[in-house]
Amino acid sequence: MPTAVSRGLPSEDAGSVLPVNSKNWQNRANAEVVNLHDRAPVWLNNVAGTNVITAQASITIPEYRKGMSFYFEPINNNTGAMTINIDACGAVAIVTAAGNALANADLRAGRLYTLVYNGTAMVVSGSNVGEDAESGTPLLLVDAYRDDNVDVTSNADLHEELVESYTFTTYEDNVEVYISIAIPLVVFTTSMSGVNKNGACRCYLDGDAYNFFPSGAKQWNGLAIANAGQWVKDYLVPVDTMVNSPKIRHVIPSAGVHTIRVHIAGSTTDTVVSLHGRRRFQVEQVKAAKGDPGAEGMTGASALTIVRTMAISNIDIATGLENGDTVNGVLLATGDRVLLAAQTASAENGIYVVQASGAATRHPDFATYDSNIGPLFSVRDGTVNKGTLWYSTSNVGGTIGTTALAFARFNAPVTSVNGRAGAVIVPEFNENEIINGNFDIWQRATSQTSSGYGSADRWNCINSGSTKNASQSAFIPGQTDVPGGPRYFLRTAVTSVAAAGNFAAMSQPMAGVEMRSGRKVTVTFWAKADAARQLAYELTQFFGTGGSPSAQVNGIGAAKVSLTTAWQKFQAVIDVPSIVGKTLGTAGNDFLGLYFWFDAGSNFNARTSSLGQQSGTFDIAHVSVMPGDWSQVDDPFPFRSWEAEERLCLPFCEIKAVRTENGSRHIQLVRKRGTPTVSVSVGSSGNVTRDGFELTHTAAADCTVTATAEM
């Protein structure tokens, strides 16, 4: 079993195992804990009222932000529609997952509920909201909340050990459940070895034994349902992450008692995994509504509704959704649910029911405008968008059939940590292959005239012969021309100099040429210029250096677009060629690249659709490259916080201030993509690795470190 170390992250009381000998480390540890708050539900205290609720968050919030979640215990049964005002941020409605106002006694005093802010209202779930056995509301099987802190140390390399478990019972076979897990984690090491270590937390459903491997590692044999972890190196320097598995659907094949198990594992015996407070475990059994066969999931009262398919173009509702019709490659049958999200008249969008003959009708659970706001819709089948989740981006208050109703895809992929063998899988809810697509991060400078990396992180602003000035420009707060509320865009002022080989462009290499090989990607961006001008874009496949790599493939999806002085959206679905038969270089610097061309001599005609040469000022914003066909989505750019964006930039470029000393000291770096080039403002660097270097100087002084490993 794991060995208990202390009551939590040792910012105040570490015990004998975690000696705190640095105030700086203590501050960093405390900062990590505070950072976890932004990604975990917050408990509401001092709850007052029956239908008009006031409450205080356990950690004060300055304003409501979309995606915020709260744990809430009413002090009275409600008697009708409800509002809540948290920390005096303003009263907002509490609604069901279908977006409807609450009815009498939907919420019960003393029971635990979760509130999630969707941008306009608090959506409530948990503790059998409404308790109507015929409503399609999920039946709550587990609702466990843990506010204690548990530190555990791996007692053998990569040996998983049980930390805590939760049981629930199903009474029939093939029961569908939603499992939601949220566990804030901090990983650190108690050793000074300087070796990278990994600490992980994994959650399993059922299972009966450990699997043992020749390497000596052991792993539980249950169904892995959630996990997260982090690499660490510095002695007692914590790194935070989060097990976050929101409403993942599972089928429990047999009736009986089932167990959710929480395990930890470390790559070394001195790796500590700290499970922090505000851990939440919830299991809800899916219940079909009365009169609903349940084959396609719950009705509109639920948080998730499964539709048979979705249309990817305009459908004639009068004749196009009849028994035997084909939509998105699916042969329809009477009673099938179909999501329409691409109607020419967007007020027609919504969930429809296929008829034996004649015009389709809206599903009764989604026959009002507001009932479409809040739920997720899972597409069960189709040539396009099979297995994806969709939600309405519209605001409540419209009129069905009159007010435009928009839908967008919900993103939830998984990626490996650092791409390393043995690394855990971490859900990131983001598929954008472009880093810093909103131009939030500018470590080097806010402008550049030189060719290369010099301003916005990850963007290579290049030119030859022609000159340019690439600079940070700010949006007017509250503007609506470019969606998503970006703060900055990249402006490039070009002075063209005529010559066949002259050009001005910007690009981003996306690591790994195998990325999306033989598949579609959707390139989306917003652009404008100082006058009517043209801009070209393309994808390229670069196979790296070292050895005998294949030649670069240019002009993939190359096209020109016409710019005006107003922001416009541009989007293209591009088929990326397969790399079968290609040879990669040995240096590991191959990539799939996105290029924007502003000025191009005739040598680049094939790459730019003969853009030609021009002077002018060009503005680029909100850039995304998404896997698959996203042409039916108004804005496929998925949200990523500033902090997350910065973390993605740091493996390529890291600039930070340090303090030298008389002699040498080790400077820790965020692990770089490759061995970085390091420059220091004072002293000298040596023994450079992907993880750090030795800084040598003759006295104590302030020093700026720049470590780059761009492609």
Residues 195 and 260 in one domain: yes
Higher pLDDT pick, 52 / 518:
52
Residues 468 and 579 in one domain: yes
Q: Which residue, of 608, 633, 658, is where some domain finishes? A: 633
- Asked if residue 297 is part of any domain, the answer here is no
Residues 704 and 669 in one domain: yes
Residues 609 and 563 in one domain: yes
pLDDT the model gives residue 463: 97
Residues 128 and 233 in one domain: no
Amino acid at 150: V
Residues 280 and 164 in one domain: yes
- Asked if residue 252 is part of any domain, the answer here is yes
Alpha helices in 560-659 (DSSP H): 605-608, 642-649
The number of distinct structural domains making up the chain is 5
Q: What is the pLDDT of residues 444-503, one digit of tens each?
A: 999 999 999 999 999 999 999 999 999 999 999 889 899 988 999 999 999 999 999 999
Pick from 18-27, 30-39, 204-213, 293-302: least confident: 293-302
- Asked if residue 295 is part of any domain, the answer here is no
Higher pLDDT pick, 429 / 309:
309
Q: Which residue, of 254, 285, 316, is where some domain finishes? A: 285
- Asked if residue 468 is part of any domain, the answer here is yes
Cβ atoms 339, 330 nearer than 8 A? no
Pick from 149-158, 456-465, 555-564, 654-663: least confident: 149-158
- Determine the Cα–Cα distance for residues 553 and 675; give it in Å rounded to an integer: 26
Surface-to-core class of residue 406, CB atoms within 10 Å of its CB (0-12 exposed, 13-18 middle, 19+ buried)? middle
Token duo for residue 333: 């049958």
Query: In the predicted model, what is the mean pLDDT of residues 388-398?
Result: 81
Residues 240 and 336 in one domain: no
- Asked if residue 80 is part of any domain, the answer here is yes
Residues 192 and 123 in one domain: no
- Asked if residue 193 is part of any domain, the answer here is yes
pLDDT the model gives residue 273: 84
Residues 566 and 585 in one domain: yes
130 has a pLDDT exceeding 70: no
Pick from 29-38, 371-380, 588-597, 693-702: least confident: 29-38
| CATH number where 28 lies | 2.60.120
DSSP per-residue string spanning 121-143: SEEEESS-TT--TTTTPPEEEEE
Cβ atoms 455, 442 nearer than 8 A? yes
Report residue 23's pLDDT band, with 50, 70 and 90 as the boundaries. very low
Cβ atoms 426, 438 nearer than 8 A? no
- Determine the Cα–Cα distance for residues 175 and 11; give it in Å rounded to an integer: 44
Average pLDDT, the chain: 81
Q: What is the pLDDT of residues 630-644, one digit of tens each?
A: 776 778 888 777 877
Residues 503 and 622 in one domain: yes
CA 645 to chain centre: 10
pLDDT the model gives residue 126: 57
Report residue 209's pLDDT band, with 50, 70 and 90 as the boundaries. confident
Residues 695 and 584 in one domain: no
The answer for residues whose C-beta is within 8 angstroms of residue 620's C-beta and 6 or more apart is 489, 490, 492, 506, 525, 526, 527, 596
- Asked if residue 292 is part of any domain, the answer here is no
Q: Which domain holds residue 318?
A: 304-410
Residues 494 and 508 in one domain: yes
- DSSP type of residue 650: T
pLDDT the model gives residue 227: 79
- Asked if residue 440 is part of any domain, the answer here is no
